[in-house]
Amino acid sequence: MTVLELGYIPIEEIEWGPKTFVQDAVLCVHREELIEKARGDDPRIASATAHIAKPGESVRIVPVKDVIEPRVKVEGKGGIFPGLISGVESVGSGRTHVLRGCAVVTAGQVVGVQEGLIDMSGPGARYSPFSKTLNVVLAIDVKHGISQHEHEEALRLAGLRAATYLGEAGRRVEPVAMDRFEVRPPFRRKGENNDLPGLVYVYMLLSQGLLHDTYLYGQNVASLLPTIMMGTEVMDGAIVSGNCVSACDKNTTYHHQNNPVIQELFRRDGVDLRFLGTVVGNCNVTLRDKMRSAQYGVKVVESLGADGAIITKEGFGNPDADAMMYCTGLEEKGIRTVMIADEFAGVDGASQSLADTSPRADAVVSAGNANERISLPPMDKVIGDVRVIEKMAGIPCGSVAKQDVAVELQAILGATNELGFGLLSAREE
């Protein structure tokens, strides 16, 4: 049996100081050292500045590349973000400390214009979970002339280095709370609950190229055949976001570290279900690749003896087809399947919500309509490049950034996240 303990160190305040440490729920950060660690020796980074953005402040962060939670491996094999920051040794066991309540946000120059925004106050703050975290924001400029993929990689690695640096501040701090996650062999039933249904989590990672990429142990998953991994590996940073996609349903690295589906399946393992494992798949571009991955993934899920499956995806349009192939294949094998997806149903909610459908997909949980429109007032402070807001997905052309701007939820980071990690919910009137 494999065990991972997550020790939570609450962070209730962040301030700049002469060194980086945690004391009495305050994270004190040496600003210049943070910037130095984030830049590393990467010659592609021209400049970087660091800022603090707190909940309730009149601050807009735009455009946002990634969000990462600072963590540190204190016991067990490997290190945080294996294959990128630490070595390639498998992770997911031992003990990891979490600086809970804060995050590293990368912003500034970005590769594309689909990246979104975080408002720390006002109506936009209601839709992004990162308006509730204490954010250390890195605004990064890269050197002219590098390729788009180098640009993305430079920003991605800078954010990971910064989060690793901050996470080290919690290495010798005693956690306030601890969670224990036990990973058992999938064919071994837990305790005496032999009649509990066995569930598998199908974790679809975006991997369509064109800067729509996700990394597993440092490798792009574009050519990955579906494979089994422990949910605890995800908590240790084995999956990292490299995506430059619409902000509303982008799975940032923070989302992967705190995947609520994995955490809930662990919580209920042995209570009303058996958590058999996580099958990681990808979302492809061509029909041939979609069929290959879906059919192979269904075979892997079936081999685990699953009675049911939960499917999550990332993005909209093209990935809808991958999800429907998985769902159809699993249902045809008698494996009851639930899918989580957001909707792009038009501003009025009257359009088709998903780009592909299947009669087998009869249990779908909606994460919200990303085309829903709200009005955002100007903020007193902007971190990043406010000019980009006029070009973001879901924002009408010609918007004036210094005035109120009408946006669709797809421009707000995490608004309709398809892992269910968000602030939207449904209620009966």
Spatial distance between the Cα atoms of 306 and 297, rounded to a whole number of angstroms: 12
Spatial distance between the Cα atoms of 365 and 215, rounded to a whole number of angstroms: 26
* Number of neighbours of residue 227 by Cβ within 10 angstroms: 14
The answer to whether 397 is a known catalytic residue is: no
Q: Which of 28, 102, 244, 327 is flagged as catalytic?
A: 244
Which residues, in sequence order, are CB contacts of 70 under 8 Å at separation 6+?
98, 99, 102, 103, 104, 163, 164, 166, 167, 169, 170
Tell me if 146 sits within 8 A of 157, measured CB to CB.
no
Q: What share of the chain is helix, strand, coil (3-state, %, to 5)?
A: 25, 35, 40
Q: Which of 73, 94, 91, 99 is nearest to 8 (CA)?
A: 99
* Number of neighbours of residue 347 by Cβ within 10 angstroms: 13
Q: Which token pair is 203?
A: 């974790």
Angle between helices 287-303 and 318-332 (to 10 degrees): 40
Q: Which residues pair with 181 in a beta bridge?
A: 4
Q: Which of 156, 149, 359, 145 is nearest to 241 (CA)?
A: 156
Spatial distance between the Cα atoms of 205 and 93, rounded to a whole number of angstroms: 23
Q: Which residue has the tokens 């592609």?
A: 44
* Number of neighbours of residue 132 by Cβ within 10 angstroms: 14
Spatial distance between the Cα atoms of 52 and 168, rounded to a whole number of angstroms: 19
Q: Active-site positions?
A: 244
